A and B are shown apart, each in its own frame.
Chain A
Amino acid sequence: MATHYSSFERGGITWLLQRLTAVFLVGVLAFHFMLLHFVNHAADITFAGTQARMSQVGYFATMWLFLVTATFHGVNGVYNALVNQGLDGTAKRAVGAVLTLASIALIVQGTRVALAMTDLL
């Protein structure tokens, strides 16, 4: 029986980042769900309420980090899944480029949305 087992090759920076973001996301995703479904019900959410939350520096920073880490973890997870299925060569590079562009677009748009929700600026 193995004493140590890992799903991915060890030693790479993305391997480490996938796990570090996982640790962060475990807490923040649970917090996000609790706050916006159980403390504040989704049906009762208004722009004013969202703006009040997003105008607190700590909450804004947490949500922006949530966006960045979730995008990395999710898109890198998709990439790893495709590589596990045998993606290789030119197709691997092309998929990597498309996923990188999609990540950048999501983070840019998510940042625009976050800024529109706050009155910090």
Chain B
Amino acid sequence: MSQTYDRGTVEDFGRWREFKAGMWAWLFHKFTGWVLVGYLFTHIAVLSTATASDPTVYTQTLSGLEELLIVRVLEVGLLAVAVFHILNGVRLLLVDLGLGLENQDKSFYASLVVTGAITVASVPTFLAGV
């Protein structure tokens, strides 16, 4: 049997001051989602160099980008964004299935901690050979 859950006005961004875990999870999921969809369009644009008749255009474009420190740093940021979106997405899927709503704040904090740990552990791999 379903019951109602008062989540307040979704559109009111001023609610961030309440420091509710669910609100931050909602904001972070939106933010990381916008970043990922923006990256998807950019990613296909860069990979479009593969359609050039000369295959070295693709190879040189990718290696040229990877030589830039800012690109490596942005890649670490992209990993953080992707990992959080994945972990929080699993949390949302479970909540949608009716699992873990009572612990949704704890699962959000867990998502943040695991995202932070994976991101920090990945820094040496991403910055190697710049």
Contact = CB atoms under 8 A, between A and B. Distances in A.
Contacts of A22: 89, 92-93
B101 A2 contact: yes
Main secondary structure of the interface of A (DSSP, over half): helix
A59 B128 CA distance: 27
B126 A6 contact: no
Contacts of B56: 47
A111 to B, nearest CB: 10
Contact of B10 (A19, A38, A84): A84
Contacts of B8: none
A5 B30 contact: no
Interface in A1-43: 1-7, 19, 22-23, 25-26, 29-30, 33, 37-38, 41-43
Interface in B1-23: 1-5, 7, 10-11
Interface residues of B, number: 46
Contact of A42 (B2, B11, B62): B62
Interface residues of A, number: 45
Given A106-B44, A113-B48, A41 B63 contact: no
A45 interface: yes
B40 interface: yes
A51 B96 CA distance: 40
B11 A77 contact: no
Query: What 9 A-B pairs come out closest when comparing CB atoms?
Result: A74-B37, A2-B5, A43-B66, A47-B55, A116-B51, A47-B58, A46-B59, A4-B98, A116-B50
Interface of A: 1-7, 19, 22-23, 25-26, 29-30, 33, 37-38, 41-43, 45-48, 50-51, 67, 70-71, 74-75, 77-78, 81, 84-86, 102, 106, 109-110, 112-113, 116-117
